[in-house]
Amino acid sequence: MFKDLFQKKRKYATIPSERRGSEDGSQSMDRPKREIPEGLMNKCARCGSIQYSKELEKNFKVCSSCGYHMRLNALERIRYTMDEGSFTEFDADLISVDPLEFPGYAGKLEQQALKSGLREAVVTGQGTIGGFPAVVAVMSFDFFTGSMGSVVGEKITRAIEAAAEKRLPMIIFSTSGGARMQESILSLMQMAKTSAALARLSEQGGLYISVITDPTTGGVSASFAMLGDIILAEPGAVFGFAGRIVIEQTIRQKLPDDFQTAEFNLQHGQLDLVVHRKEMKATLSKLLDLHGVKGGA
């Protein structure tokens, strides 16, 4: 008897509900549907976990459940990497045109600009990282899948030339689907153009750090992305020239599950280091310090 009296009380959760009248006059206990504001939550593409967007932003857009590094646009990456208020953009007025009058290309350029909020697939400029000055070029996959057209190649080349002139290190964050087919041979020429600019920087003793992010393929991976004095990559970043399906069909063999990931390429000598996004700024700052760049916090 006494045992029953002193048992812990059960806890109940109160569930709010509203009575709604039906056509026949009866009352319904159905709960009203609640509208969730768009952008409040995000779903991880790898593990499917749901997270608050604000918490995800604080975590550098890295899934807290599985560590998946979600894609960043150029402006987000600049905000996470450069010292606050230090970045000055180069060539913001350079935009792509339709040199070959490719059907529908001009309209797609307008759509991409509206969708991404960017004027091109790369943002270039100068700023400081941990107090150390550097010239940076940051590609953005959400503008035409980061494809390299004439303007992308021109902006990167000008940034490399600025780094050489100012005796500053060059850092390029790559993400791309490759050459932009709507510009045909003009796009392919950017591979040689950017590579030649990097060769001139190297001859002057300049430092070039390449940071590969997911995904980096095609002409970008076959040119400046793989020419760094130091090559870093984010965890899980996929990069290579041709895609998995094309390679498997060509060699008629099944490729490893982790083929072309940053970890796979590190094991096979294609990378120097795989760096978590949270550690990227500190790692770049340390590399700049080790290479004698003047400055520092």
8 A C-beta contact, residue 153 and residue 66? no
8 A C-beta contact, residue 77 and residue 138? yes
| Crossing angle of the two packed helices 184-203 and 150-166, in degrees rounded to 10 | 10
8 A C-beta contact, residue 221 and residue 239? yes
Is 44 annotated in a binding site? The answer is yes
Is 259 annotated in a binding site? The answer is no
Q: How far is CA 111 from CA 28, 102, 145, in A?
A: 46, 15, 13
Q: How far apart are CA 200 and CA 158, in angstroms?
A: 12
DSSP structure string for 121-146: SEEEEEEEETTEEEEEEEE-TTTGGG
Residue 257 DSSP code: T
Around Cβ 39, how many Cβ atoms within 10 Å?
A: 8
Is 47 annotated in a binding site? The answer is yes
Annotated binding site: 44, 47, 63, 66
Binding residues for Zn(2+): 44, 47, 63, 66
